């Protein structure tokens, strides 16, 4: 990790992904984590990006923008809006496996990609109902949009999402909600580990 220790949340997600991709087995909750990872419960999202090799830029089929400074492409992002597992550590383990091999938008991650993965973990705060888009800030708040049984979420502070209108439109699209359809909205903050 270039001389610095990886964040415990990210290290757990990475260890989980590597073990699952190599063996097909989910790791048990390790006993060397910070206490809050055993004691607290919260929704969590695991985002996995891959460092792009120069030759892949021209052939990438996922609308990769060759002008992007990051040279990263999303490979999986799965999470839970509210806690489902017994603790944050278990939430991360479950969602890391899902992001690596069960995100329906992508092929499962393979061994040859493991050394190029960049992983982040977002721990979600409480949901707060809001009345209008004016109560959002794309850098600070994520958004959940709901229409009946359809629900979409977009995390805050994502590259390429610069306006509240874009944020809400993407969340609606993810839920299969039309742009003109009315929705109930909630906002939330995250603690991002990267």
State how far the Cα of 61 lies from the Cα of 51, in Å rounded to an integer. 15
Structure tokens at 112: 């040859």
* pLDDT at position 53: 74
Question: Residue 159: how many CB atoms within 10 A of its CB?
Answer: 12
State how far the Cα of 156 lies from the Cα of 181, in Å rounded to an integer. 22
For the CA atoms of 45, 46, 47, 49, the dihedral, rounded to the nearest 10 degrees, stands at: 180
- Give residue-wise pLDDT tens across range 49-87: 999 876 655 554 554 444 444 599 999 999 999 999 999
Domains annotated for the chain, with CATH where assigned, are 8-124 (3.30.700.20), 128-193 (3.30.1490.150)
Mean pLDDT of the chain: 92
Its pTM stands at 0.87
């Amino acid at each position: 990790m270039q001389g610095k220790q990886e964040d415990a949340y990210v290290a757990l997600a990475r260890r989980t992904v590597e073990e699952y991709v190599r063996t097909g087995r989910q790791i048990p909750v390790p006993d060397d984590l910070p206490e809050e990872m055993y004691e607290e419960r919260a929704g969590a999202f695991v985002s996995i990006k891959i460092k792009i090799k120069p030759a892949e830029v021209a052939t990438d089929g996922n609308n990769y923008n060759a002008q992007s400074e990051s040279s990263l492409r999303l490979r999986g992002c799965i999470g839970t809006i509210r806690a489902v597992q017994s603790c944050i550590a278990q939430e991360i383990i479950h969602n890391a496996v899902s992001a690596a091999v069960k995100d329906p938008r992508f092929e499962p991650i393979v061994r040859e990609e493991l050394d190029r993965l960049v992983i982040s973990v977002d721990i979600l705060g409480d949901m707060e109902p809001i009345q209008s888009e004016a109560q959002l800030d794309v850098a600070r708040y994520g958004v959940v949009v709901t229409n009946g049984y359809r629900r979409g979420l977009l995390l805050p502070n994502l590259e390429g999402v610069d306006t509240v209108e874009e944020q809400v439109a993407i969340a609606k699209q993810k839920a299969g909600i039309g742009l003109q359809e009315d929705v109930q909205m909630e906002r939330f903050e995250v603690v991002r580990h990267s």
